[in-house]
């Protein structure tokens, strides 16, 4: 597809990504002379008329959005069987890539990002447009640090079509609201829930719900409460935690009723501004008051730790005095179990924190950590004391804890052979997927680029997209007219067009000796650079013919012009010229000529139109 021009306007420059619904190309708009992003729907979506109708309606609705935090939609079109959407071309990375690289964001940055996303959603919701697939993969961070939300309205087009293969796979279950998980009614509050999940991830560095299958994750959205964010990041204040959990409320009536309400809380958090402030302030302003708040929180915690240390020291001193006075009685008070036994439960698939909390009569000790693609990070994989064993109170139970899926830094596969890259990626537990495109720099069969790029951190089971070179792209040129030219002139015309001349045996003819009377590829047609074009010259041996024969045939005319000129050629000789109004198409052409072969070439407005075999008229 690279090098193609859609609708005689959008020249595809390079493949820059692929998703479940479309392949994305960087393109050049020839009309406005600017770079754009063109999303071409995948083949499985091209045949569903109901989906294409919905796709066009939703894309046109998204085009009505104009906001600094929204990727603009410029055009929706069709080229042959290809349906596409033209969008603003953004240089940057996705928010998901940014979080992979950075991990937990600072409180200041997380609030800033939340505000920018909320501002975009507020603008869309005021226009009656719900995103339905808010996730960090659909948010781009520009090189200037501005967040841009993309794909507004497209998730609705997918969900509205029941005939599209794989439609249920569109989107990410990790960010789907409970009502989306159960296939219920969705509105603006569904976007708020998805934003709440993203807030949780930005503030804590991890998703609130994860599982081995999409169904398992969806069930957690429906049934489980998330671990409070403050337990994962001590920098989070109670106010921030309440905002996150309110946005993530499973019951829509308990969620923020609108994005405006969430933005109001963000403003108050940033320093008590009134709700009437412009919402687009989040796209550029910094949050100094939050930085100060973090310092206050840290100072408060340091003071609390100091007070706790003093209290512990006082308690120890008191205990020493008691022991020295009461002796044996104190010893009995310190060991109240009296040698009682407890039964060791199964700790497998339990988080280490839950295991310690629920089994306070045992001393649960983390012995080792190992990678696991099945057991989430922080959960117990094995225990050294079997379930059902009776042990004394306080006995140490050694456990092995999962480190989660192994993180893999993607190597540089550019210029490596496809087979080598595929083998290496599979050995690492990654899933390679391939696409192809022409490349003038990369050898055929070698990797042009990968998505994500080298150096990106992945987990076992992640997919890596690899673009394989098809070699240099074929450039097409227009074949020149050789009729009437000498052999030397014909050779030069073809060589100047980077075509290969092939001279055939001269042909008996009454045309001037040594002039071209035949060429194998019609003048004006397109041929690949380096293609061979055969031609033959006249011997000039035949005497000019006498009176010609009458010819008559019906000629259909193109309808894109009101009037056209028609020229009929017998090799290098013009045998007829005339003009016709296209409203009379098809027209009857009559002429008298001596044709050496009976086959003529027809040109309309000096451009090759067709070749036709004629029979003599009976009149």
Burial 364-394 (b: 16+ CB within 10 A, else e): beeeebebbeebeebbbbebeeeeeeeeebe
Eight-class DSSP state of 473: P
Q: 17 — alpha (psi -120 to 50), left (phi > 0) or beta?
A: left
Which of the pair, 511 or 266, is modelled with greater confidence? 266
* Tens-digit pLDDT profile for residues 355-366: 999 999 999 998
* Tens-digit pLDDT profile for residues 390-400: 898 989 999 99
**Residue 616: strand pairing partners:** 551
pLDDT band at residue 22 under the 50/70/90 scheme: confident
* Tens-digit pLDDT profile for residues 53-109: 767 776 777 778 889 999 988 888 888 888 889 999 988 889 999 998 888 899 999
The two domains 93-290 and 335-402 share their CATH topology (first three levels equal): no
Please, which residues have CB within 8 angstroms of residue 459's CB and are 6 or more apart in sequence? 404, 405, 406, 407, 408
Which of the pair, 403 or 433, is modelled with greater confidence? 433
Q: Where do the structural domains in the chain lie, given as residue ranges?
A: 5-88, 93-290, 335-402, 407-469, 476-537, 549-613
| Residue 16, phi then psi, degrees to nearest 5 | -115, 5
Question: How far is residue 603's CA from residue 601's CA, in Å, rounded to a whole number?
Answer: 7
pLDDT for res 295: 43
Asked whether residue 217 carries a pLDDT value surpassing 70, the answer given is: yes
The lowest-confidence range among 55-69, 147-161, 460-474 is 147-161
Rounded to an integer, the average pLDDT of 182-193 is 86
Please provide the CATH number assigned to the domain covering 93-290: 1.10.510.10
Q: Is 187 a catalytic residue?
A: no
Say whether pTM exceeds 0.85. Answer: no
Asked whether residue 292 carries a pLDDT value surpassing 50, the answer given is: no
Asked if 589 contacts 577 with a C-beta cutoff of 8 angstroms, the reply is: no
The lowest-confidence range among 178-182, 283-287, 364-368 is 283-287
- Give CA torsion, residues 265, 269, 272, 277, to 10 deg: -60
Question: Collapsing DSSP states into helix, strand and coil, what is residue 94?
Answer: strand
pLDDT for res 244: 96
Asked whether residue 372 carries a pLDDT value surpassing 50, the answer given is: yes
pLDDT band at residue 463 under the 50/70/90 scheme: confident
State the CATH architecture for 407-469: 2-Layer Sandwich (3.30)
Asked whether residue 469 carries a pLDDT value surpassing 50, the answer given is: yes
The lowest-confidence range among 37-46, 214-223, 494-503 is 37-46
pLDDT for res 457: 83
**Does the domain formed by 476-537 have CATH 3.30.10.20?**
yes
Within 10 A of 417 (CB to CB), how many other CB atoms are there? 14
Question: How far is residue 376's CA from residue 358's CA, in Å, rounded to a whole number?
Answer: 19
From 48, 75, 133, 462, the catalytic residue: 133
| CATH topology for the 549-613 domain | Immunoglobulin-like (2.60.40)
Rounded to an integer, the average pLDDT of 163-168 is 34
Q: What is the mean pLDDT of the chain?
A: 81
Asked whether residue 575 carries a pLDDT value surpassing 80, the answer given is: yes
| CATH topology for the 5-88 domain | Phosphorylase Kinase; domain 1 (3.30.200)
pLDDT above 90 covers what percent of the chain?
Answer: 33
Burial 120-144 (b: 16+ CB within 10 A, else e): bbbbbbeeebbbbbbbbbbbbbeee
pLDDT band at residue 373 under the 50/70/90 scheme: low
pLDDT for res 231: 94
Residue spans of alpha helices (H) in 151-273: 154-160, 178-181, 188-204, 214-223, 229-232, 238-247, 259-269
Please provide the CATH number assigned to the domain covering 335-402: 3.30.10.20
pLDDT for res 336: 42
Asked whether residue 317 carries a pLDDT value surpassing 60, the answer given is: no
The lowest-confidence range among 146-150, 245-249, 462-466 is 462-466
DSSP string, 408-427: EEPP--TTSBHHHHHHHHHH
Question: How far is residue 453's CA from residue 397's CA, in Å, rounded to a whole number?
Answer: 44
Tokens at 318, concatenated: 């008191």
Q: Among 31-40, 169-178, 305-314, which range has the highest average pLDDT?
A: 31-40
Asked whether residue 612 carries a pLDDT value surpassing 70, the answer given is: yes
Asked whether residue 187 carries a pLDDT value surpassing 90, the answer given is: no
Asked if 38 contacts 84 with a C-beta cutoff of 8 angstroms, the reply is: yes
pLDDT band at residue 543 under the 50/70/90 scheme: low
The lowest-confidence range among 46-60, 61-75, 147-161, 561-575 is 147-161
Tell which residue, 396, 392, 395, has the closest CA to residue 338: 392
Asked whether residue 305 carries a pLDDT value surpassing 70, the answer given is: no
pLDDT for res 546: 59
Q: Where are the beta strands (DSSP E) in 556-586?
A: 563-570, 573-581
Asked whether residue 156 carries a pLDDT value surpassing 80, the answer given is: no
């Amino acid at each position: 597809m690279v090098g193609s021009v859609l609708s005689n306007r959008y020249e595809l420059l390079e493949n820059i990504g692929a998703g479940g619904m479309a392949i994305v190309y960087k393109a050049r708009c020839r009309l406005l002379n600017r770079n754009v992003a063109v999303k071409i729907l995948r083949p499985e979506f091209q045949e569903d008329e109901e989906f294409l109708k919905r796709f066009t309606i939703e894309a046109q609705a998204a085009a009505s959005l104009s906001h600094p935090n929204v990727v603009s939609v410029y055009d929706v079109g069709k080229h042959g069987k290809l349906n596409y959407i033209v969008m603003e071309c953004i240089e940057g990375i996705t928010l998901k890539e940014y979080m992979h690289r950075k991990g937990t964001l600072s409180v200041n940055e997380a609030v800033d990002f939340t505000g920018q996303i909320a501002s975009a959603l507020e603008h869309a919701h005021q226009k009656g447009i719900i995103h339905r697939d808010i996730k960090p993969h659909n948010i781009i961070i520009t090189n200037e640090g501005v967040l841009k939300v993309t794909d507004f309205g497209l998730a609705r087009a997918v969900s509205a079509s029941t005939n599209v293969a794989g439609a249920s796979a569109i989107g990410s279950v990790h960010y789907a609201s409970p009502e989306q998980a159960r296939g219920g009614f969705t509105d603006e509050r569904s976007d708020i829930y998805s934003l709440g999940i993203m807030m949780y991830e930005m503030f804590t560095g991890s998703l609130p719900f994860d599982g081995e299958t999409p169904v398992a994750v969806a069930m957690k959205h429906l049934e489980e409460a998330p671990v409070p964010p403050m337990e994962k990041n001590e920098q989070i204040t109670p106010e921030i935690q309440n905002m996150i959990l309110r946005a993530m409320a499973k019951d829509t009536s308990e969620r923020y009723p609108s994005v405006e309400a969430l933005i109001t809380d963000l403003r108050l958090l940033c320093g008590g501004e009134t709700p009437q402030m412009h919402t687009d302030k989040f796209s550029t302003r910094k949050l100094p008051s939050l930085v100060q708040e973090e310092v206050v929180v840290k100072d408060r915690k340091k003071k609390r730790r100091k007070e706790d240390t003093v209290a512990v020291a006082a308690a120890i001193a008191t205990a020493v005095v008691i022991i020295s006075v009461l002796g044996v009685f104190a010893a009995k008070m310190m060991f109240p179990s009296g040698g009682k036994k407890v039964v060791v439960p199964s700790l497998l698939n339990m988080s280490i924190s839950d295991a310690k909390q629920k089994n306070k009569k045992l001393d649960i000790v983390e012995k080792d950590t190992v990678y696991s693609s099945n057991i989430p990070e922080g959960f117990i994989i094995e225990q050294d004391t079997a379930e059902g064993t009776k042990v004394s109170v306080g006995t140490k139970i050694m456990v092995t804890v999962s480190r989660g899926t192994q993180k893999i830094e993607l190597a540089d596969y550019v210029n490596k052979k496809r087979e080598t890259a595929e083998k290496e990626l599979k050995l690492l537990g990654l899933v390679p997927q391939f696409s192809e495109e022409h490349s003038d720099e990369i050898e055929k069969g070698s990797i042009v680029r990968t998505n994500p790029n080298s150096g990106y951190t992945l987990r076992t089971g992640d997919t890596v997209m690899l673009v394989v070179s098809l070699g240099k792209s074929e450039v097409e040129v227009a074949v020149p007219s050789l009729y009437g030219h000498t052999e030397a002139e014909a050779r030069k015309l073809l060589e100047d067009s980077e075509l290969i001349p092939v001279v055939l045996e001269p042909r008996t003819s009454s045309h001037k000796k040594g002039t071209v009377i035949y060429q194998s590829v019609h003048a004006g047609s397109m041929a690949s650079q380096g293609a061979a074009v055969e031609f033959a010259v006249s011997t000039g041996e035949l005497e000019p013919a006498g009176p010609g024969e009458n010819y008559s045939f019906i000629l259909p005319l193109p309808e894109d012009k009101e009037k056209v000129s028609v020229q009929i050629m017998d090799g290098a000789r013009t045998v007829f010229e005339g003009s016709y109004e296209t409203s009379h198409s098809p027209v009857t052409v009559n002429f008298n000529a001596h044709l050496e072969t009976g086959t003529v070439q027809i040109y309309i407005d000096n451009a090759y139109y067709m070749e036709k075999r004629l029979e003599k008229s009976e009149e």
